[in-house]
Structure formats: C-alpha cells, structure tokens
C-alpha cells in the first residue's frame, strides 16, 4: 500500500463488506491472543508471496514498526501490523480478525479495525459492482446511513482499491465507518475502521500506519 496516493487517502482506515461488521461494542468481548510464530517482513498490499496454510499467528517480528506486532493469517492470505496495546478478537461474526482499542473511563464502545474476506464463489464481479452492492445493503442495514465520500485508486502493483466513508447509527451509538475494499483471486477483502463520531480522528494516524503494512497474498 506504499503509494503516494494511498498515503493521501489512508490517514485513517476502515473496512466492511457484504457481511456487515457492527461489532466490538462494550467491554464484554472475549479478547484473545494467539501463540507467537515468526512471519515474513511486511510488504505492500497484494505483493507478498503465499505461504503454507495455517492458523492465525501473532509475533514480535523484528521488521514490525516500533510499538507494533505482526498478525498473519495464511488461510485467508492476510498480514498486517497492529499496535501492541490493542486487543485481538476472533469473535466478531464475519471478521478474520478485529483489533480493538482499550476502553477508557466512561467509554461504552470500543473503536476497532476489522478485516473480512468473502469468497465470491466464481461469480464475475468487479470492484465497482461489489462496492455498489455493498452500499445498497448498507442503506438497508445502518440507520440514518449517510455516504460521506468514496474514491478509487490503484497500488503500484496494479490492485484496485475503493475507499468509502459513511456515518450512521447502531443502537444508541452514532458511528463513523471508513472502509478499504478490494478484490483479488476471486475474493473480496474489506478493512474497516469503526469509531464513534467524536472519537474518529483519535486513531486516524494509527490506523493509517496499520494500512501501510497490510498485505494480501
């Protein structure tokens, strides 16, 4: 994801797909951390080499940014770095992994970054069509759904990326989503940053750092 265009757009980070990730509210989530196993050095999205299939792993990779650890899931072909003090959850429906911020005094919602993958089952669908269907479904799922912005660009490796940002309500929460969507090898990948409206800017820079390390292989 190391293109000048990506850096302009990804000063945050958000994802979600056809399986909507309205998750990680409150402090009741079952946070988990897997055993550490070494993983390769990070590289831009869509440019890593494939490794053997296996379960997700977390590691203190020497190539990780200071204060970050590496998460790798060979089964879905995803690798990303995340802040060491964020909690990991494998319990969010539809998500490969969810990275959650710490709850602060008075908080009832945990801002989070989730990654999801959807096998398109051989269906001929390009990114524009996938985004169109996703936005149509969002309107029927999110109360007061409002699309704020959308933009498409390509990485240096030729992978098309769509970025969408929108607001809406979930229960008593007024939320902002920002998502990065892409299709590779017949699978749709969505990275979603989800936060309360007044807290959205707090982790924008951190999420941007995470996105810079995202690899789809």
Could you list the mean pLDDT of each consecutive 10-residue stretch along the chain, which spans 217 residues?
Answer: 37 32 39 29 27 46 80 94 94 90 81 92 88 90 94 86 94 93 93 94 93 90
pLDDT of residue 159: 85
Show the beta-strand stretches assigned E in 61-172.
68-73, 78-83, 87-89, 97-100, 112-119, 143-154, 160-170
pLDDT of residue 58: 59
Which residues lie below 8 Å from residue 132, measured CB to CB, with a gap of 6+? none
Judge contact between 88 and 119, C-beta under 8 A.
no
CATH code for the part of the protein at 4-216: 3.40.1000.10
Residue spans per domain, the chain: 4-216
Walk across the sheet containing 112-119 and list its strands: 87-89, 97-100, 112-119, 187-196, 173-184, 160-170, 143-154
Long-range contacts of 69-72 (CB under 8 A, 24+ apart): 70/39, 70/42, 71/97, 71/99, 72/37, 72/39
Task: Provide the whole-model pTM.
Answer: 0.74
pLDDT of residue 148: 97
């Amino acid at each position: 994801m190391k293109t000048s265009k990506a850096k302009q757009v990804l000063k945050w980070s958000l994802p979600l797909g056809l399986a909507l990730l309205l998750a990680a509210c409150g402090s009741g989530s079952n946070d988990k951390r897997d055993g550490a196993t070494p993983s390769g050095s990070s590289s831009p999205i869509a440019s890593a080499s494939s490794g053997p299939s296996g379960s997700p792993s977390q590691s203190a990779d020497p190539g990780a940014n200071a204060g970050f650890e590496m998460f790798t899931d060979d089964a879905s072909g995803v690798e990303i770095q995340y802040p060491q003090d964020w909690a990991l959850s494998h319990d969010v429906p539809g998500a490969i992994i969810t990275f959650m911020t710490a709850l602060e005094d008075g908080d009832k919602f945990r801002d989070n970054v989730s990654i999801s993958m959807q096998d398109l089952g051989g269906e001929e669908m390009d990114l524009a069509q996938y985004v169109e269907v996703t936005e149509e479904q969002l309107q029927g799922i999110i109360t007061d759904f409002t699309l704020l912005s959308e933009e498409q660009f390509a990485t240096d490796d030729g992978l098309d990326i769509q970025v969408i940002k929108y607001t809406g309500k979930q229960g008593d929460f007024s939320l902002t989503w920002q998502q990065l969507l892409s299709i590779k090898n017949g699978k749709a990948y969505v990275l979603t940053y989800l936060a309360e409206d007044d807290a959205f800017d707090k982790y924008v820079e951190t999420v941007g750092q995470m996105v810079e390390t995202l690899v789809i292989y």
